[in-house]
Structure 1
Amino acid sequence: MTSQLRQLALCKQGLALPQPFGAGLSGTRSAIEHLGYVQIDTLSVVERAHHHVLWSRVPAYNPSHLNQLISEQHIFEYWYHAASYLPMRDYRYALPNMACIRDGENRYYNNVDKRLMKKILARVKAEGASRLRDLDQGSKGKGSWWSQAPGKRAVEKLFMQGDLMVCERNGMEKVYDLAERCLPEGVDLSVPTPVEYAAYLFDTTLRAHGVFTWKQLLHLKTGKTMRDAMREVVDERIETGVVKALGSTGASNTYVDINALEQTPTVGCALKVLSPFDNLVIHRDRLSSLFEYDYRIECYVAAPKRVFGYFCLPILYGDKFVGRIDCKAHRADQRFEIISLHLEDGQLDRESFFPALTDELQKFADFNKCPLLDESVIEKLRRRRSLTSGL
């Protein structure tokens, strides 16, 4: 049963079959709409998480697709459990959080200079889409607000409460414009009830994962109102036969998509090197329970306490996580470095695994625009279970 659940999870995530969402720009849009969100991350040791996640699922993916989809008003940036790209069709479900920010219910966004916010809004309205550094064209001295925390926090609050939207990114630099210029005509602006919001979270998780936990449904969502609404939705979905509760997966309060489970195809032995922020692995408890894979990213761990490396990437092979690899893209000299590689399964068929790993790493290196891949590290690993290069 566990293997079947894993295969269901991989199929729902678009990691089991070739071109599950199509290719190129349309495939990128379909992937985001199916997954419900793609997390944005600033770390650039290798290609950033939002690009890595989409590259793993969409053939012919190009990072420029995200700006194009924003300009075409098919997706938008906001907060899911973290900064994310979201389908524009789901815009109304961001409205409750925007209202909380506007009403001062989030402590981080209190004590923001309201006069400065009005000044910024007026400037964007008059001058059009603007970067943060564009919003001050006067004094560039120490007192200039744009380079100080108050100005940045004012822009962030205007974004979080829905007055400004990101209309473009150049690398990680955001360009802002008025929300009224970024939203498509006819977009639904009705504020969802708690039950409607819970149903949105449930349906998104059901569609993107197939098998999931109660904790996953309410990830970073707090309060009795939200818990009660989600319980109402879950009970209704169980009663109507959409999902059933499982008691033997190693985790309590686990649910599975009944129809999808019966139709899940067998997963082959494809190999994927995934982002630490990939939708499949971001819920660490579920990852441990379902895949028996304990994982955490170690860039937030003090160097002496790291076990696997600063930015180790999970290695998925078939329906199992079999190891992790720490890589770095040296873009100046187009070299892709393998810093360390650790395998977990001593029974791994190395004759098939290593050619698949080498092929995937070369493709990933090319995507990072660092085609020079040092395969000697992989060759050494054929004879050892783990390896740290340079030692």
Structure 2
Amino acid sequence: MSTPAVENDALEKAGSATEALYLTRDTYFPANPDDKIARLKSESDLALNLLDSIPPEQRKLLTQRARYEYLRGKILDVLPEYKREAEDHLSKAVKLNPSLADAWLCLGNCIWKKGDLSSAKNCFTLALSKGPNKQILCQLSMLERKMAQGADNQAELVDESIKHAKEAIALDVKDGNSWYNLGNACLTSFFVTGAWDHAKLLQSLKAYQNAEKDERMKSNPDLYFNCATVNKYLENYEMALTGFEAAALKDPGLNATEEVQKIVNLLDKLDNLLQGHARSKRLASLASSLAVVNLNSSYKRATVNLLSEGLNKAVAVVGKVLFFIKHENVAPLYYLACDPDQVCFVLSVYGIQYDSIKEGDLITLLDPLYRQVEFSWKEKFYQFKSFRVDFKEQLLVNGKALTPHQAVRTSIHAQHKP
């Protein structure tokens, strides 16, 4: 005759095997994804065997039956596709013990896989009614971002996602996964609101940097990929390249190597154009036409070489657009331009229609945000002067402000995982 201690010990062993199974899911990223599926199937079979070794008479207590059903459902749900059998066991677990928050969490994840997002949300909300839980808050935050895709109230749902992400952090400020989730929420907000709000990118980057302080997050390739995505849009090219390369090493299944190549292609194109136009004879005649441009008296005229790095308040820089630079991402729009001193620079513009600025146009940058880009990558040195325009109000084209219909909230979706 077995004792409750022996029965609980058997359930504890099955619980440990389930934790190990999910650790494999979250940290094992072989070059061939099929190898991961095979390993998960093998480990899940071992965990199920442990559960099957517990005779029915040894799990008569309500709490034991609930835990048994919960573990069985969780093991069956480890693979990416939805399994009805997993949902059935998890549903039994919450009926047997409605206070089992982890079972509600797993049931919500399982139902999410079959596309029933509102029922999944109900599971997470019920789980939270049992008490605050950082894991459940993070899952709810993720789900709200998924629900936002294509919804009429997209921005509202993403704001809810950010709110729940912050609530998870408030429960444990050192938890890297909660910070990572907030970073994802802020990055999604950047895309949903039109890929122009610099502040959202900075909030996302800060959250990812906090996530990196947690040693457990070092095995998460998506953290490196998403942080690199933020750095790409912040035009921190070297950090973006380093991050995408690290993500590719951790999970070859991500398209991080392609992201590295896209950035290198852009940088090489910028470098070639800058070198070509720096030696161009037509540069002098183009630059000379800029001297006669009239400016609003509230702005002080300056050329590129007189600027300080960062924001230059109450300053205006006039330039001539030499070239529209095609590249492989939707945003920003890149241009090569020159100032009256024949100094060439790169201009990146967010939030406007692609045909709002054309080659040959006269541009006036108001309160310009200026950077000197200098770094080496794979033994090639990149060096150029760069301006970033986030709002149409920071730019005049041929002396005129851009009209509202020339503004755009770029329709792009985050490539990062939710």
TM-score under structure 1 length normalisation: 0.25
Bigger RCO (CA 8 Å, 6+ sep) = 1
When Rg is computed on C-alpha atoms for both structures, the one with the higher figure is: 2
